[in-house]
Amino acid sequence: MEGDLQRAVGRNLREYRLARGLSQEAFAEVVGVHRTYMGGLERGERNLTLKSVERIAERIAVDPLELMHIPPD
Amino acid sequence: MEGDLQRAVGRNLREYRLARGLSQEAFAEVVGVHRTYMGGLERGERNLTLKSVERIAERIAVDPLELMHIPPD
Tell whether B73 is covered by a domain.
no
Domain of residue A50 covers 4-67
Tell me if A54 and B4 make a contact (CB, 8 A cut-off): yes
Q: Is the dihedral of CA B16, B22, B28, B31 positive or negative?
A: negative
Distances from the Cα of B68 to the Cαs of A69, B6, B9, B15, B48, in angstroms? 12, 7, 5, 13, 11
B18 contact A CB<8A:
no
Per residue in B8-67, pLDDT (tens digit) is 999 999 999 999 999 999 999 999 999 889 999 999 999 999 999 999 999 999 999 999
| Residue A73: pLDDT over 70 | no
* A36 assigned to some structural domain: yes
Quick check: A55 pLDDT over 70?
A: yes
- Residues B31 and A23: their CA atoms lie apart, in Å, by 41
Q: Check CB contact under 8 Å for B5 and A50.
A: yes
Q: Is there a domain that residue B72 lies in?
A: no
The CA–CA distances, whole Å, from B9 to A22, A26, A71, B16, B31 equal 33, 33, 22, 10, 13
Mutation to test the B interface, candidates A12, A49, A50, most B Cβ within 10 Å: A50
Q: Say how far apart CA B65 and CA A42 lie, in whole Å.
A: 20
Domain annotation covers residue A37: yes
pLDDT of the residue at B38: 93
- Amino acid identity for residue B32 in this structure: G
Structure ipTM: 0.91
Rounded-to-integer distance, Cα B7 and Cα A72, Å = 28
Which of A47, A68, A69 is nearest residue B51 as measured by Cβ atoms? A47
The verdict on residue B26 lying in a domain is yes
Chain B nearest-CA residue for A54: B2
Q: Domains in chain A: how many in total?
A: 1
- Report yes or no on B45 lying in a domain: yes
In a domain, residue A63? The reply is yes
CATH number, position B49: 1.10.260.40
Looking at the complex, report in whole angstroms how far the Cα of residue B32 sits from the nearest Cα belonging to chain A.
Answer: 15
Q: Is residue A73 part of a domain?
A: no
